[in-house]
Structure 1
Amino acid sequence: MTQQPDTLTESLSLALHYAANGWRVFPLLPGSKRPATPNHRAADCDRTDPWCRTGHAGWEQRATNRPDWITRAWSSNPAYGVGIACGPSRLVVVDLDTHKPGTEIPEPWHRFGITTGADVLDHLAGAHGGTITPTYTVRTVSGGTHLYYTAPDTTRRFTNTAGKIGWLIDTRAHGGYVAAPPTQIGSSSYDVTDDRPPAPLPMFLLDLLSRDQRPTPSTPNDDHNAPQRPSSRPYRPAGCGDPVHSTSAYVEAVIAAETAALNAAPDGGRNLALWVMATNVGKLINRGLITEHAALDRVLAAAAGHIAADAYDTYQAEATIRSGFHRAATKPTTSTRSAA
Structure 2
Amino acid sequence: MINLNQATVPAVQLALDLAAIGWHVFPLSPRDKRPLANCLHCRDNPTCSRDDYAACPCLPAGQWCHGVRAATTDPDRIRTWWRRTPTAVPAVAAGPSGLVLIDLDNHAPAPPADPATELLPGFTLTAEQLHEPSAVRTGADVLRLLAHLRGGPHPWPTGPGHQPIAVATPSGGRHLWYRAPQVAGGGRLRQALSELGWQIDIKAGWNYGIAPGAAAPAGAYRVLTGTPAAPGHMPDWLAREVLRVATDRPTTSPARLPAAPATGQEHRAAAYIAAVIESGAAELASLTDGRQRALSALAYKAGGLLSWSGLSRGDIEDRLIHAGLASGLPDRLARRIVDRALANGLASPLPAPGDRKAG
TM range (shorter): 0.5 to 0.7
User: Greater shift after overlay, 198-207 or 103-112?
Assistant: 103-112
Give per-residue Cα distances to partners, 1:47-105, cap 9 Å, x unaligned. 479x9573696223210011122122212221111010001111111011125234545
Equivalent residue for 1:3? 6
The AA in structure 2 aligned to 1:183 is A
Whole-angstrom CA distance in 2 between matches of 1:175 and 1:41: 23
Query: Does the alignment pair 1:170 with 2:201?
Result: yes
Whole-angstrom CA distance in 2 between matches of 1:172 and 1:97: 13
In structure 2, do the counterparts of structure 1 residues 23 and 106 end up closer, same or farther at CA, with 3 Å as the change threshold?
farther
Equivalent residue for 1:112? 133
Give per-residue Cα distances to partners, 1:15-35, cap 9 Å, x unaligned. 111112211000111243111
Give per-residue Cα distances to partners, 1:285-336, cap 9 Å, x unaligned. xxxxxxxxxxxxxxxxxxxxxxxxxxxxxxxxxxxxxxxxxxxxxxxxxxxx
User: Greater shift after overlay, 172-181 or 195-204?
Assistant: 195-204
> Which one of the candidate residues 167, 174, 181 is aligned to 1:138?
167
Equivalent residue for 1:98? 106
The AA in structure 2 aligned to 1:179 is I
Any stretches of 5+ residues in structure 1 without a counterpart? 215-340
Give per-residue Cα distances to partners, 1:86-131, cap 9 Å, x unaligned. 0111111101112523454541368422101111111111211224
Report matched runs for 1:34-49 at 5 Å: 34-39=34-39, 44-45=44-45, 47=47
In structure 2, do the counterparts of structure 1 residues 47 and 68 end up closer, same or farther at CA, with 3 Å as the change threshold?
same
**Large movers: runs of 4+ above 4 Å:** 39-43, 46-49
Q: Partner of 1:125: helix, strand, or coil? A: helix
Q: Partner of 1:44: helix, strand, or coil? A: coil
Q: Partner of 2:177: helix, strand, or coil? A: strand
Whole-angstrom CA distance in 1 between matches of 2:210 and 2:245: 29
> Which one of the candidate residues 239, 242, 248 is aligned to 1:209?
242
Whole-angstrom CA distance in 2 between matches of 1:165 and 1:192: 24
Equivalent residue for 1:186? 217
Q: Partner of 1:141: helix, strand, or coil? A: coil
In structure 2, do the counterparts of structure 1 residues 175 and 15 end up closer, same or farther at CA, with 3 Å as the change threshold?
same
In structure 2, do the counterparts of structure 1 residues 84 and 127 end up closer, same or farther at CA, with 3 Å as the change threshold?
same
Aligned length: 211
Instruction: Report the TM-score, using the length of structure 1 for normalisation.
Output: 0.54
Report matched runs for 1:147-158 at 5 Å: 147-154=176-183, 155-158=186-189
Indicate conservation of the 8 Å contact 1:160/1:170, yes or no.
Answer: yes
The AA in structure 1 aligned to 2:206 is G
Equivalent residue for 2:19? 19
In structure 2, do the counterparts of structure 1 residues 72 and 90 end up closer, same or farther at CA, with 3 Å as the change threshold?
same
In structure 2, do the counterparts of structure 1 residues 41 and 195 end up closer, same or farther at CA, with 3 Å as the change threshold?
farther
Report matched runs for 1:257-336 at 5 Å: none
Q: Partner of 2:115: helix, strand, or coil? A: coil
Whole-angstrom CA distance in 1 between matches of 2:41 and 2:91: 18
In structure 2, do the counterparts of structure 1 residues 23 and 104 end up closer, same or farther at CA, with 3 Å as the change threshold?
same
Indicate conservation of the 8 Å contact 1:31/1:183, yes or no.
Answer: no
Give per-residue Cα distances to partners, 1:138-196, cap 9 Å, x unaligned. 11222111000001244432110011111111100012100114433434222111133
In structure 2, do the counterparts of structure 1 residues 61 and 21 end up closer, same or farther at CA, with 3 Å as the change threshold?
same
Indicate conservation of the 8 Å contact 1:32/1:81, yes or no.
Answer: no
Whole-angstrom CA distance in 2 between matches of 1:179 and 1:212: 22
Indicate conservation of the 8 Å contact 1:4/1:182, yes or no.
Answer: no
Indicate conservation of the 8 Å contact 1:150/1:200, yes or no.
Answer: yes
Query: Does the alignment pair 1:129 with 2:151?
Result: yes
In structure 2, do the counterparts of structure 1 residues 74 and 135 end up closer, same or farther at CA, with 3 Å as the change threshold?
same
Give per-residue Cα distances to partners, 1:210-264, cap 9 Å, x unaligned. 33799xxxxxxxxxxxxxxxxxxxxxxxxxxxxxxxxxxxxxxxxxxxxxxxxxx
Report matched runs for 1:54-69 at 5 Å: 54=55, 58-69=66-77
